[in-house]
Amino acid sequence: MTTDKNGTPTDVTTEADRFSISVDGQKAGFTEYFDHDGQRIFPHTEIGDEFGGRGLATILIREALDATRAAGLRIVAVCPMVAGVIEKNPEFADLVDPVSTDVKRLLDKR
């Protein structure tokens, strides 16, 4: 189990269209995704204001990226928070695809 910057245990779970992070049983945030043509596209991440500054977004996104690697999918980081975590963690760089015109079209249809 991973702990936040305060030493509090966190729990990341996978749902149908998002990964969620909880702290002490309280949902603290999520990162949305959808899979398309061998890619996992991350359009949005949100952490509650009351949980800010604890490193939860990084914990959440790293676990989501690890799960994406394990699933054999490529990463498309539309969300700036996801892109930032990838930039700081180059071990994911080999899995990243750019935000293509096709991805933008898919996002517009959502």
pLDDT tens, N- to C-terminus, the chain (110 residues): 799 999 999 999 999 999 999 998 899 999 999 999 999 999 999 999 999 999 999 999 999 999 999 999 999 999 999 999 999 999 999 999 999 999 999 999 88
CA 74, chain centre distance (Å) = 13
Closest CA to 28 of 5, 7, 44, 52: 52
Q: b/e map of 28-50 (b: 16 or more CB within 10 Å)?
A: bbbbbbbeeeebbbbbebebeee
Residue 104: per-residue pLDDT: 94
Across-strand partners of 46?
30
pTM: 0.94
Residue 70: per-residue pLDDT: 98
Residue 110: per-residue pLDDT: 83
d(CA 3, CA 69): 22
Residue 28: per-residue pLDDT: 97
